[in-house]
Every structure is written in C-alpha cells, then in structure tokens.
Chain A
Amino acid sequence: MTYVPHTDADVREMLATIGVNSIDELFADIPEDLRLKGELRIPSRLDEHQLMRHMAGLAAQNLDLSQVTCFLGAGIYDRYIPASVGAVISRGEFLTAYTPYQPEVSQGYLQTIYEFQSMIAELYGCDLANASMYDGPTSLAEAALMACSLKRKDIVVMSEGIHPHARQVMETYAWSNEVEVRTLPLKDGQTDLSQMPEGAVLLIQNPNFYGVIEDLAAARAAADSQGAMLVVSADPTACGLLKAPGHYGADVVVGEGQPLGIPMGLGGPMLGLFACKQEYVRSIPGRIVGRTHDAQGRPGFTMTLRTREQDIRREKATSNICTNEALMALASTVYMSAVGKNGIRSVATSTVQNTQYAIKVLTEAGGKLKFPNARVFGEFVLTLPKPAAEVRDALLSHGILAGLPLGPYLAGGENDLLVAVTEIRTQEEIDDFARALREVLNG
C-alpha cells in the first residue's frame, strides 16, 4: 500500500470504532452489480528505483531541447529560468497548499499573488490583473466572451495574426456560446485594420504570431470606430521594451506567461495572464487578491470580489474557472523579482540584438525575410528556397531545431520558417545555424 500508512492493528481498531467488521461493509451502498470484480488490468507496481528508471526511459525518447540549439518559439520560448524559481516553487508550503480560502493560514501565498497581480498590471500598463488563468489562449477567449457580454453583442473580430492555436480555442468557445467570429486578414505581416467590421471586441496579438509588431494605436482607433473593446494578447518579454498595450488604451491585455520562468514542458502547465482597466473589475473571470485588515487592524490579504465566482454565483458567475495556475503564477513572480526592472530590459534587449544578428546571417545564408518592411521583436519569418519542413528536419541532424515550418498555418507558406531567437542564444550558435543552413540549402 504505497502511500497508505495503516497497520493491521490500526485497521482493526478503526473498524471497531466504526462498528463494522470489514472495509467492504463500508461500501454497502454501492449496488453489488456495480462493484469491480477482480484486479484492474493495468501494469504492476514499480518501486521507486524502477519507477525512476522507467520514467527516465520515456524522457529519453523525447528530443531534449537542452541538448540541441533551439530556434523554435511560436508563443512558447526557450528562455533562461533562474535557479531561484525552482527552489521557491518546490517548497511544500506552496506546492502542497490548496486555494487560499482560509486567509489566516494562507497569508504567504496571498501576498505573493498580490505581488504577482501588481507586477503583471505594471508590465501590461493596466490598472489591475487577476490571479491567473489557464493559459494564453483560454485567457483570450474568456476576455472575448466578457466583452460580448458587456457589449451585449455576440460578434468577435479576430486578427489572423493571433497564434493559430489561440484562434482555434476562440473558435471552440465561440461556437459553444453561439458567438460569431469575424477575421481580419494580414497585409505585409501586419493586421489590416482598414476594414474593421462591426463587433463587440477586436482581438489582436503583439508581436503577432509571425513576430511582427502591430500598430496598437491603429487597433485602438479601429475598435473605437465600431464601439468595440480592444483586447491585446501580448508577449510578456516584449513588454520589457515595447510600449505596454494598456498605454495604448487596450481594455484588456492577456497573454501567455510561460516566458516568465516556466519550462516549456510540452506546453503544460502554462500561465494565462489577464489584466484590464479598473472599470471592468466586477466582470472579469478568475480570482483576485486584495489587501485588507483584521479586527485588530493588522494588515492582511484575502481573495476578494468573490461574488463574481462560481462557488457563490453558480450559473450567474462571470466564468466557470475555479482552479487556476497559482503555482505557475508564483514561478513567474519569483522570475519577475529575480530579473527585476533592469533584468527584463536586458532580456528583451538581448533578444532584439540576437534576432537582428540572426536576420543578418540567415538572409546571407540564403533565406529571405517574408515581411522585409515589418518591425520584429524576437521572431521572424524566413522564406527558404526549399520546403521549410525538409530544411528543419535536415538541420536537426546538425543539432539545431531551426523553427516552425509554416505550411500548415499560412496559405502558400510551405517554404516559410518561423524563427525565434531568445536571449540565451550565442553568436556562435547563430553562426552555426547559418553555416548549417547554407550547407542544407546548397546540398
């Protein structure tokens, strides 16, 4: 009984106290024909040593990106995670706590959530942020549905520059809520805002899926032209340098918080960010922590504006979200504290610097920029003279994961490769990439 501490004597005494003769008697309410007969057909138990070997064997069947040079991004980035992040989030006091419903014994976590909300609101240039959502895409979908409900209009206008997976999540949520999704196409890599249709909300991503920096002032104006809200999905690292979406007047800013100290981990768990203007605070999904005091006037933190939530409001709640990504929010809080004001600028600047260098050497090696006039932050589309998937596969044998082939995402994009260059790439690695690319293209 792996994690069960009962001795035979314990069980005997407990059964006697209960007044039954066997554990089986406690299951008397389960009709006989619904009870499982015999053992489950699942694998046999492993001891800890066997378990570690078995799982390590499975891990070894994946391509471990710490063993190659990674230029794949597309919303999930290979960034440096300070050692302190893992040290803090593995503390049992945080790792093994439940939602802080009992504030007297949860002050530690509640304070970190308050700090998280403060840092995200500051990063995104918003009045406030919630305590986290599942991931970037669901955060975007929830923001869009909130806008539909506030504007009493079931139309979402979505840029085609949004991550294709986020667009698919939006489509799923929209379908189930009978909300129509209208899309805005791209022009030269940027969202074409000249024909903004009627809608409750405009959804745009910055930088967009193709790495291009969008014109958020124009997006604000386009949304206003239809009386729509503006929701921006923003890369948190880019916000270390770019003017914050909130400062362009975005109503809601959402994003994928993974670049803030969370491992790529095959895309889960992630961290949904959600920040907005003060005026929407009673309509937003998710938990919020506020500062207050006890009867003796001692300051303390507690979950607040709880009447928005499902356990109190049931079908009238602003969302069904309950469990969020608290531990990932804590990871990002440690990350944001560790890098601080100067570190985030340095990470963003190094990203821009490396990206510019990669553009230079990769275009010299035979690639062409697909959107030569667009401004990019840390990612760009390289058009190759060969199918991008073939090139990507060939470069893998050089120990380089070159990026994301865009064939499945972009019409006529078979030769397009989306390349991300983070702060941890070195000049040597980028040079190696260029050299190998030249070899593959000429080979």
Chain B
Amino acid sequence: MKPIPLIFEKSRPGRIGCNLPKADTPEVDVQAILGETRDAVAWPEIGELDMLRHFTNLSHRNYGIEIGFYPLGSCTMKYNPKINERTAGLTGFTHTHPMQPEETIGGFLEVYASCMDILKEITGFDDITMQPVAGAHGELACLMLIKAYHESRGEGAQRRVVLVPDSAHGTNPASAARCGYVVKTIPTAEDGNTDLEALAKELGPDTAAFMVTNPSTLALFETNITKVCQMVHEAGGQVFCDGANMNAMVGTTRPGDHGFDCMHLNLHKTFSTPHGGGGPGCGAIGLKSHLAPYMPGPVITRNDAGQAVLDHDRPHCIGRVSGFFGQSLMAVRALTYFLAYGREGMSSISRYSVLNANYVKARLKDVLPAAHDRPCMHECVLTAKQYKEYGVRALDLSKALIDYGFHPPTNYFPLIVPEAFMIEPTETEAKETLDAFCDALIEICELAKTDPDALHAAPTKAIVGRLDEAAAVKNLDVRYQPA
C-alpha cells in the first residue's frame, strides 16, 4: 500500500473544509485595530469530503481495541463502553464553562462528588481529588502533598529522598525529580517482593516517601505490603501507591487498607475512559485524612445537606496543579462506568481480569514461562530469554504477532526481567480471543527455533516494516516544510 500524502500536499488554493459562521456586524479595519498583523497561516486548504477521507484512511492504518486484542501490559486496554461516549456528549456537559457561576454547575459537581464517593469506597481512602489530569500528573500531585505535609511538620528541608523500586514505571522517578526530590532505587527480592533489608538500609531521616506499585509491575501482589508501610512510617516517611494496577484490586482489596498514605488512579485504565491514542488521561488521587488539608484546589465536597459544592475554605491548599477542575468529561464517562457495574458487579473487574491473565500464563507456560512462579494478578510477566540462543528477542516475537492481527504486548518492562513479555488481557476479552492469541504465540515461538530470520523480518503484513529510529533522530524531521 502506498503512503498517504500529508494533508498539506493535498492542499489547493481556495478550498475550505467547513461552512464557517461569519460575523454579520459591521466590517472594521482589522489592521488599524490590532496594529501589527501577520501573513496567512499556511494551514492546508482542502474540501470537507477530501479532508474526511484523509483522516478516515489514516484511521484504517491504526490499531485500536475495537479492531482487536490489545494485550499491552501495564496499560489496561479494556473495552471503552459506547454509552460513556453518549453520556459525555450531552450538551449539558459539553457546553459548560469552567468559570461560569458555581450555582449553575450543580450537575457537574454532583458528577464529581459521586465519582469521589465511589472511588473512596473502592480504594479505602478518606478523600479523593480529581484535579490531576493524567497518571503521572497524579503521582506528581501526591508527591507535592507529601512535600507540603513534611514542610508542615518542619521536616521539609530534611526529607529530600524519594525511594523507588527498580521495577517501577519510569514516571515514578521522573515525577519525584519533577517535584524536586533526589531519587534512590530499592531492589526487588528473589520472590518478587520488595527487598526489605535493602529498604531498611535506605530508610532514614532523609526519607520523604517510598513509591510502591501494588500489585507490582511484576504483576505480583506485594505480600509484605503492611510491613513495608509500617517500616516507612516508622522512619517518618510516607507511602505512595502507584495505582496503574488497580484493575487487579477493584472490589477485592483496598489499597487504603494496606497502609498507604496516598495513591493515584488512572481512570483511563481501570475505569474505562478511552486512551485516545495516548490521552487524555484522568488521574484521580486518593488520600488519607492527614494529607487532605493540602489537596490541590478547587476542592469539591458535600455540604451537610449532602449537596455537592466547592469548598473555598482551604488555608493549607498547595494551589492548583491544572487549569480548572480536572478532566470533567472523563469524570462523566467514569461515573457512567461505575454505575453500569454498580455494587453487584464491581468485583467482576478484578476477578475476571485476574482469571484471564492466569489463563494466558497457563496456556503459554511451555513456550514463555513466567518470570516468577506465583499466581499473577491482572497481567502476567513472562520471559522470552530462551529464544536468545536462536538470536530471537522478545521484540521479534511481538512484531510477529502483528502479522497475526494482534497488538503486541509490552516488552522489556519491567526492566529487571530479562526479555520481558508483559501481557495484560483485561476482563473484557472472551476465552476464544485469548485462545487465538495463545495459539498464534505458540506457533511464533516454534518458528523462533526453526526460522528465526522470518521473525527478524516481521512484521511483513503491516503498512511499514520496523522503522529506522536512529535515522529518525539523526535526520530529525518533525515538521512539514513546503518544497
């Protein structure tokens, strides 16, 4: 298939892709009013049908969960229900301005407050704020609250270090650095849990926080979590829970009960708001009451009558972390999702996601063994190291999956597993889909031994083969330049 020309290359002078409104007020001399003006903005000129064809044809060259199985580990690519899109499209939600009078957004405040009530109950935290707009943003906000807490106790200058496991997502150390902290790494023990001895050694009067992912990125439940939290607290530090893996816990166990002080949630993972090709996210955070006074504003709460209102009396608030209330239309989608499951169905999220992951792990155990011999949670971390002797890497297996019509899993993460192959099926996949995927992977693993070159060449059925990323950096071309 031929490349699709850039939309700029389809431009013809005089065309336009929308019948735009035009002012009926008296014409004015724009130049005189504005002072210095510019030449035309060189955006494409294209008719509406050709413009739509451009984007529709591009969409055909893109994989989404509605096309097929998307077992990208750590990303929770579950079904994004259509009803969510419909409720979030109601004009009573889309046509509201974040600075219109508070009395006129009662419905939206109720959406937020309902989400917060439900998230409090699911996570076991005392308070929730939905102002962070993405997962990493939620991590950052949590660290800011921890900073404010230590400062309030006169320990701000002393507690400079954030501890991060070697299995952590890259956002953890990056968020700590973005919050002005020094990062130290804590190793993982043989059994996949935190190395308690190493942790004990690093904990001290300079510890601000320990960032723990539970279940860990190895897809294992941190069995010592209560002990870990206790150790950090005894050293005067705070414990943050990375909620990327919340899908394993919904309705089964509550991180707020594990001893954590705060956590972030990715509503765009666990609670079905769409990923949209890399965003928007929605990064709610949960807090224990001692951190709540510092919550970023604006704070939404319920008054004595149970009505959702803004709480303007927050003397210890750290300020804003984003422009307005948060990802409001994502909150509408999340509430729609919560209510679709309700109390009767909520735990099926964790139960069937864990079932699916363990099923995939069991079906693949002969060709791709698990990195740890323990029940996995909502995803499984396997290793492809046995194919290295044939010159085949985890990435080669992944690229071959593309030719079978599947999206590849996550590779080379967590960093501590050699040739990591991280599969997250989610609860919304049917058994026959998992079987087809496992059958394909078993076939590919056989091929790794018999015809490794075939895998090196994969994918062959995609629009392009593997791209030259070194050339992309060397001959940097990130913007169309007219010929």
Contacts and interface: CB of A to CB of B under 8 A. Distances in A.
Given A44-B344, A98-B70, A264-B98, A325 B280 contact: yes
A156 to B, nearest CB: 14
B105 A122 contact: no
Interface string A304-344: 11100111111111011111111110100010111111111
Contacts of A243: 36-38
B133 A268 contact: yes
Contact of A343 (B18, B28, B407): B18
A287 interface: yes
A63 interface: yes
B459 interface: yes
A99 interface: yes
B134 interface: yes
A341 B351 contact: no
Nearest to B177: A315
B80 interface: yes
A157 interface: no
B323 to A, nearest CB: 4
Given A41-B121, A97-B62, 9 more contacts: A29-B375, A29-B377, A34-B253, A35-B252, A64-B96, A175-B319, A309-B170, A320-B174, A423-B23
Contact of B277 (A99, A293, A306): A99
Q: Which of A34, A72, A103, A171 has the most CB of B within 10 A?
A: A34
A109 to B, nearest CB: 5
In terms of DSSP, what is the predominant structure of the interface of chain B? loop
Contact of B251 (A25, A40, A321, A430): A40
A153 to B, nearest CB: 15
A323 B42 contact: no
Nearest to A316: B177
A357 B467 contact: no
Contacts of B237: none
A211 to B, nearest CB: 12
Contacts of B475: 292
Interface string B161-174: 00010000111011
Which 9 A/B pairs are nearest by Cβ-Cβ distance?
Answer: A45-B342, A267-B324, A59-B92, A327-B276, A267-B98, A61-B107, A92-B66, A108-B62, A269-B280
Given A117-B479, A290-B477, A341 B465 contact: no
A160 B348 CA distance: 51
A137 B135 CA distance: 17
A108 B48 contact: no
Q: Which of B122, B139, B276, B355 has the most CB of A within 10 A?
A: B276
Contact of B278 (A87, A287, A353): A287
Contact of A59 (B56, B93, B220): B93
A2 interface: yes
Interface stretch (A46-54, A189-197, A219-227): A46-54
Contacts of A46: 339-340, 342
A266 interface: yes
B340 A2 contact: yes
A97 to B, nearest CB: 4
Given A320-B178, A393-B101, A3 B340 contact: yes
Contact of B133 (A135, A393, A430): A135
A397 B266 CA distance: 40
Given A42-B117, A264-B95, A340-B16, A295 B479 contact: no
A327 B97 CA distance: 20
Given A105-B462, A345-B40, A430-B25, A320 B175 contact: yes
A323 B268 contact: yes
B355 A23 contact: yes
Interface string A78-101: 101010101111111111111111
Interface in B425-483: 427-431, 459, 462-469, 471-473, 475-480
A424 B21 contact: yes
Q: Which of B80, B169, B177 has the most CB of A within 10 A?
A: B177
Interface string A373-403: 0010100000000000000110010000100
B397 interface: no
A375 B223 contact: no
Contact of B108 (A2, A62, A247, A393): A62
Nearest to A244: B38
B480 A90 contact: no
A168 interface: yes
A96 B351 contact: no
B90 interface: yes
Given A314-B174, A353-B26, A111 B326 contact: no
A287 B341 CA distance: 35
A224 to B, nearest CB: 19
Interface stretch (B2-10, B199-207, B284-292, B385-393): B2-10
Interface in B257-310: 257-258, 266, 268, 272, 274-281, 296
A392 B101 contact: yes
A98 B77 contact: yes
Interface string B27-63: 1101001111110111111101001101111111111
Contacts of A171: 319
Nearest to A361: B25
B275 A98 contact: yes
Interface in A221-276: 239-244, 247, 256, 263-270
Given A320-B139, A323-B268, A72 B99 contact: yes
A415 interface: no
Nearest to A241: B37
Q: Which of A104, A128, A241 has the most CB of B within 10 A?
A: A104
Contact of B17 (A5, A306, A339): A339
A2 B93 CA distance: 25
A411 interface: no
B462 A337 contact: no
B166 to A, nearest CB: 10
30 contacts: A4-B352, A17-B363, A29-B375, A30-B221, A36-B253, A43-B118, A43-B338, A43-B342, A56-B92, A62-B106, A82-B20, A95-B64, A97-B65, A98-B77, A103-B464, A104-B464, A106-B62, A107-B61, A114-B6, A115-B8, A118-B480, A122-B41, A171-B319, A172-B321, A266-B328, A267-B323, A267-B328, A293-B468, A294-B465, A345-B41
B345 A45 contact: yes
B38 A247 contact: yes
Interface string A333-375: 0101111111111110111111011000000000000000001
A352 B348 contact: no
A123 interface: yes
A102 B20 contact: no
A76 B6 contact: no
Q: Which of A40, A74, A357 has the most CB of B within 10 A?
A: A40
B144 interface: yes
A37 B245 CA distance: 21
Contact of B61 (A40, A101, A108, A176): A108
A119 interface: yes
A267 B109 CA distance: 13
B322 A135 contact: yes
Nearest to B51: A337
B86 interface: yes
Given A96-B80, A323-B280, A138 B322 contact: yes
B63 A340 contact: no
Interface in B391-439: 398-399, 402, 407-408, 413, 427-431
